[in-house]
Chains A and B, each alone.
Chain A
Amino acid sequence: MKLPRAATRRRVILTTTIALLSTLVLSTTAPVSSALADQTYEPIQGRGSTWSSGAIDQWRGAVANQMSVNYTADGSSDGRANFITKIVDFAVSEIPFQTNPTDGSTPEQPGTDFAYMPIVAGGTSFMYNLKIGGKRVTNLRLSGETIAKIFTGKITKWNDPQIAGDNPGLAMPDKTITPVVRSDGSGSSAQFSLWMVNQYPQIWNDFCNSGVGCAAGSMTSQYPVFPGAKGQAKSDGVAGYVAQDYGEGAITYVEYSYPLKAKFPVAKVLNSSGYYIEPTASSVAVGMLGAAIKDDLTQDLGGVYNNSDPRAYPLSSYSYLIVPTSAPRGVFTEGHGRTLAAFAKYSLCEGQQQVGLLGYSPLPMNLVQAGFSQIRRIPGGGQLDLDINSCNNPTFKPGDSLESNQLAITAPQPAACDKKGPDQCTTGTAGAPDETPISGSGNGGGSSDAGVNAGKAGAGTAATTAAGGSSSLATDAVYDENGQLVSAAAGGGTAVSAPFTLASESFGISQGLMLAAVALLLLGVFLPPFLSRKLRRSSSSPR
């Protein structure tokens, strides 16, 4: 009697599991199917930014059972060029069309029948690969000026006093910095160079005037591959290079989602209130409160760079969907417009639920509202039901005022150890939540950044003071390529280990033996045939 009972129980468990699973599947797909009416949509094509492609790919996947949206991520410049030649339905770009470029490039002429629609916010982050004593650094901090100097070739070593000054808790190694830049035309390059032009014009102009291939005083989509730098194509390429083992010492500028995906850290960037901030969804949301939105919805980021909120990330920006406003236009028709409008609506509303996890920041209400007005301009998008209250966007609740952003309201204040000073948080960043032990002279502390890893990152092992303790000592200490202390200033009262040096690899016994072994091997291979031939000849010659 025992066996059948066990069997039925198993069956019951099985059926309940199936039922649970099916309800789960139904409940997750339900919002999508209700948002997009059950009609057939014509497939559409788009090209452009790799910066925001993580979010776009997520949305495409989510609506794949309703409509087919094809997207090729090959850079903002390429997206805009293809939109001008009308061979795509939409483009995605970080920067608007360059109708009056100041860097000497040919003006882009997109015509007038298009509109910009912000789709997602994010932070241009600085992903790096650095080890101290064989252990990955996850809590690097950099000021804007340091970053500008690294990417213009002025700072070439990780132990540069300026980097060491930003990182009192780290014993920076004597290692060459490899700045990895985009070799293709890129919106990330444009946003990054725009920030430098705006914030550090002197550094940028000196860089361009040295003849590397950019114009002083203007941003560029084609970042110069200056001596010492490495050029790689697309966001995947630069992030992939940094993430390799041989990428140790490399740093690149790329959207926050890429280091998150690659399980690598990003540098915390100093904002104008003196805090080093990681580009999490909330710090980008706070940063973007400083953006001035122009009439055509393009952004003026001057207020973001200097946002005085201590929680703001200075290199925050929006990415744009460029949509046609007349049909037919090249491949674009009204039927495509219906798909595009529905896709745009999904991305502005439900789509924004997921972007925080991916490493982006959801759009606030005023931009969703403005985006809706752009969707209405898309031919074929007029019939779409656009109600801000049923939008299901995480930054606002139904009935909120236009300017409020739930994410910015709930964004936590930065931890005290993130403030510029002798303390440095040990908590990891982005895709690398592990703590970094203190190797320099500063104090540690746990960061309260409500990042993606906030749950995982516990309180740091605070205040394990390193030897010495005073920061004046740190500037005098010398570390080698692997972050081992070579010498410290005398009088600190600290014991400094003498580095263990191996005998230099001159030609010794072991090398001689190796050479002899190689010679023997070669002899063993080549001698027998020669000898045998000789022997045969000598033995046959008398006859």
Chain B
Amino acid sequence: MSAVTFTPRADVRSTPPASGPRRIAPRAHIADRIFQSVAVSAGAVTVSIMLAVGLFLSLRAKDALVVAGPSFLFEQAWSPETGVFGIAAVLFGTVSIALVAMSVSVPLALGTSLLISEVLRGRLQRTLISIVDLMAAVPSVVFGLWGVFFLQAGIIPVSQWISTYFGWIPIFAVTGADGARLTEASAVTSSAFIAGLVVALMVVPTQTSVMREAFSQAPVGEREGALALGSTRFGMIRAVVLPFGRGGIIGGTMLGLGRALGETIAVYMIISPIFTINWEVLKTGSNSVSALIALRYGESSDFGLSALMAAGLVLFLVTLVINFTASSIVARSRSGASS
């Protein structure tokens, strides 16, 4: 508020009133009024576009939702043509891919952002910042191609290793229909795990830059105070930077989660779409709402399209809830409150 200040011109009336303080009718400068109206209308347009998207999705989804009823949330199959369709399996796949992505990307982003903001200095720091930002500029279809034709072949042994030694944890098991363990390469390709890894690499730059921004704002006085009290660099980071940047960590994570839930093309290229709930993240076959829409929208009938809109609406609401939760957490933290 210090840089932009309104300078109201006092419009002094020629005849002073009989009693009380003189009345001032502030009249904003023309530039201020233009600025104000532009800012307000930009905000209003953004909000109304978002509301319009939600309204549009709800209207188009109505036909399908009326037919499916509450079973839409619990049915796994997807066959709008025969009236049996639901989002359970698809939403489960979306969430599992996003969770895999988060469990990989958050540690990576946290480490990278701390490295950039606390350890590196000067030219190296600037170079790494631009490299990470460059990663965000890679189109998702390129990530998808890379995932299918390069990463997948390299990840197969990793998946097989995890399923061999940690198969006793149910989500890391890779079993066939009869419960027997599968060891072949084809059993672990096109899985939620591989899709999640690719999505993780796509969201790391976003998360890194949000976290780095928060960490770099940690007050110098407190940092120096911690150091003066004899803490090591790690101690200072733990006592000052991380608590201060908590809002940034959560905000960055949630921003990445939102993107991971909605990632389309890379997931579409990697997964083998199935319509059953697959708890085994390493096993082939998964699905996601956005990949389903990309796969089916072009060739759907009106009703099929309506069903896809309903799926999109659910994703929209889930993302909205996540973002609101995140922003309320961020607002209560120190770095969030200051920014």
A interface residues with partner B (beta carbon < 8 Å)? 74-75, 77-78, 80-82, 103-106, 175-176, 178, 183-185, 213, 221, 225, 227, 229-233, 237, 240-241, 244-250
Contact = CB atoms under 8 A, between A and B. Distances in A.
B153 interface: yes
A511 to B, nearest CB: 11
B302 A183 contact: no
Given A81-B298, A237-B269, A249 B186 contact: yes
A105 B303 CA distance: 10
Contacts of A249: 184, 186
B273 A221 contact: no
A225 B274 contact: yes
B268 A230 contact: no
A225 B190 CA distance: 13
Contacts of A221: 299
A477 B186 CA distance: 26
Given A78-B298, A78-B299, A81-B300, A246 B81 contact: no
A75 B297 CA distance: 12
Given A81-B298, A246-B153, A183 B185 contact: no
B274 A231 contact: yes
Contacts of A80: 299
B304 interface: yes
Nearest to A186: B299
6 contacts: A106-B302, A184-B296, A229-B272, A231-B274, A237-B269, A246-B185
Interface string B260-278: 0000000011001111000
B186 A75 contact: no
Contact of A230 (B79, B186, B298): B186
Interface string B285-329: 100000000011011111110000000000000000000000000
A225 B269 contact: no
Contact of B299 (A75, A175, A227, A245): A75
Contacts of A225: 272-274, 285
B149 A246 contact: no
Contacts of A176: 184, 186
A106 B285 CA distance: 27
B95 interface: no
Nearest to B185: A246
B79 A213 contact: yes
B149 to A, nearest CB: 7
Interface of B: 77, 79, 81-82, 148-149, 152-153, 156, 177, 184-186, 189-190, 268-269, 272-275, 284-285, 295-296, 298-304
Given A249-B184, A249-B186, A82 B298 contact: yes
A246 B268 contact: no
Contact of B272 (A74, A75, A82, A231): A231
Contact of A106 (B148, B186, B275, B301): B301
B77 A230 contact: no
Contacts of A78: 298-299
Contacts of A230: 186, 189-190, 272, 284-285
B333 to A, nearest CB: 29
Contact of A183 (B81, B152, B272): B272
Residue of B186, B190, B304 with most chain A CB atoms under a 10 A cut-off:
B186
A248 B185 CA distance: 8
A474 B185 CA distance: 28
Contacts of B153: 244-246
B272 A227 contact: no
B299 A244 contact: no
A229 B190 CA distance: 11
B269 A246 contact: no
A216 to B, nearest CB: 13
A229 B275 CA distance: 13
Contacts of B185: 246, 248
Nearest to A213: B79
A79 B61 CA distance: 24
A227 B176 CA distance: 9
A240 to B, nearest CB: 7
A314 to B, nearest CB: 27
Given A74-B298, A176-B184, 8 more contacts: A104-B81, A104-B82, A106-B303, A183-B273, A184-B295, A230-B186, A246-B153, A246-B189
B273 A77 contact: no
Contact of B186 (A82, A105, A183, A250): A250
Contact of B81 (A106, A237, A245): A106
A184 B299 contact: yes
Contacts of A227: 177
Nearest to A109: B301
Nearest first, the 8 A-B pairs at minimum CB distance are A106-B301, A77-B299, A78-B298, A185-B299, A178-B186, A246-B185, A105-B81, A230-B272
A248 B296 CA distance: 29
A249 B82 CA distance: 34
A51 to B, nearest CB: 15
A171 to B, nearest CB: 19
Given A104-B82, A176-B186, A246-B189, A233 B295 contact: yes
Contacts of A246: 152-153, 156, 185-186, 189
B107 to A, nearest CB: 17
B182 to A, nearest CB: 8
A183 B299 contact: no
Contacts of B189: 230, 241, 246
A82 B298 CA distance: 7
A237 B272 CA distance: 10
Contacts of B296: 184-185
A75 B156 CA distance: 29
Contacts of A77: 298-299
A142 B227 CA distance: 75
A525 B35 CA distance: 57
B170 to A, nearest CB: 19
A246 B272 CA distance: 14
A244 B149 contact: yes
Nearest to B294: A233
B149 A183 contact: no
Nearest to A180: B272
B75 to A, nearest CB: 13
A78 B302 CA distance: 14
Nearest to A533: B232
B299 A231 contact: no
Contacts of A75: 298-299
Given A246-B185, A249-B184, A233 B268 contact: yes
A421 to B, nearest CB: 32
A229 to B, nearest CB: 8
A480 to B, nearest CB: 13
A239 to B, nearest CB: 12
